[in-house]
């Protein structure tokens, strides 16, 4: 084998070794004044076939809104001591001014699936920067970045940033009901009636970026007629 072939094999082995493995940290803007940091372990770093755990510390600095809460995900139940960011030592979660910090450990992961780790709840939409440390199998990994947390528009009942068939299905499935399913997280006043329908019609197609798909357009015309027969004023 030539020197170049040896070099190629050595490089390939290094790239596929656990040295280059690391967990993944991502952010999801929920569209309802909350944003969630999600963590996924790297299965290459599991200490055994049974899986492994993660721990994280995160510091989020917010601009343009008041921080109402920082909440750990269900798979991260253990509050840990932390010192990331400014403000000294804390345990679990700490809010000071426009900074929220969290430090938690996880239950056992058996796959590399991403799960909710830490959710920031704001009084309104705002922007943020963050610093994070994630530990897996005795190794720490540093992350940093920035982003935005926005409010959902009226009619975006599932707060996914779009007013589309997903919201229409929620409306039709809950019409007249005094309660709504957990996936309905934005814009509900009991009971579900023309108030929610008007919200949907007013922003139909928001965030979709394409023409209203059939047969939704025909159905919306019918629903608009229903709304015109019984408009409800919201206060």
pLDDT, tens digit, for every residue of 88-138?
999 999 999 999 999 999 999 999 999 999 999 998 889 999 999 999 999
Same domain? For 67 and 180 the reply is no
CATH number at residue 83: 2.60.40
Same domain? For 34 and 113 the reply is yes
Same domain? For 129 and 24 the reply is yes
Round to whole Å and give the CA distance between 164 and 203: 9
Share of the chain above pLDDT 90, in %: 61
Residue 15 falls within a domain, yes or no?
A: yes
Confidence at residue 220, expressed as pLDDT on a 0 to 100 scale: 64
pTM of the full structure: 0.66
Same domain? For 60 and 131 the reply is yes
Q: Is residue 138 helix, strand or coil?
A: coil
Domain hosting 90: range is 3-149
Round to whole Å and give the CA distance between 156 and 145: 27
Same domain? For 170 and 142 the reply is no
Same domain? For 57 and 114 the reply is yes
Residue 160 falls within a domain, yes or no?
A: no
Q: Does 235 score more than 60 pLDDT? A: no
- The tally of domains found in the chain comes to 2
Confidence at residue 207, expressed as pLDDT on a 0 to 100 scale: 78
Same domain? For 9 and 119 the reply is yes
Round to whole Å and give the CA distance between 232 and 235: 10
Residue 159 falls within a domain, yes or no?
A: no
What angle separates helix 194-202 from helix 165-174, to the nearest 10 degrees? 170
Cα distances from 51 to residues 45, 80, 104, 136, in angstroms, run 9, 21, 18, 11
**Residue among 26, 52, 29, 47 nearest 37 (CA):** 26
Confidence at residue 132, expressed as pLDDT on a 0 to 100 scale: 98
34 with 121: CB under 8 angstroms? Answer: yes
Same domain? For 71 and 113 the reply is yes
């Amino acid at each position: 084998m030539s020197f170049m072939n040896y070099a190629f094999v050595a490089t390939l082995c290094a790239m596929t070794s656990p040295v280059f493995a690391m967990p993944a940290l991502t952010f999801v803007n929920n569209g309802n004044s909350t944003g969630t940091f999600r963590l996924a372990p790297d299965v290459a770093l599991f200490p055994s076939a049974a899986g492994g755990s993660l721990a994280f510390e995160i510091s989020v600095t917010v601009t343009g809104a008041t921080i109402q809460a920082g909440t750990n995900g269900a798979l991260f139940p253990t509050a840990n001591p932390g010192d990331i960011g400014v403000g000294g030592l804390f345990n679990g979660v700490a809010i000071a001014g426009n900074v929220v910090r969290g430090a938690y450990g996880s239950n056992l992961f058996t796959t590399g699936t991403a799960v909710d780790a830490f959710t920031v709840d704001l009084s309104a939409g705002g922007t943020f920067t963050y610093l994070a440390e994630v530990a897996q199998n005795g190794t720490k990994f540093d992350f940093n970045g920035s982003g935005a947390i926005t409010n959902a528009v009226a009619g975006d009942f599932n707060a996914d940033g779009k007013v589309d068939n997903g919201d229409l299905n929620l409306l039709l499935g809950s019409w007249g009901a005094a309660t709504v399913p957990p996936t309905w997280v934005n814009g509900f006043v009991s009971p579900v009636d023309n108030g929610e329908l008007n919200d949907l019609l007013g922003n139909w197609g928001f965030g979709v970026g394409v023409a209203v798909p059939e047969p939704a357009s025909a159905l919306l015309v019918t629903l608009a007629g229903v709304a015109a027969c019984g408009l409800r004023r919201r206060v």
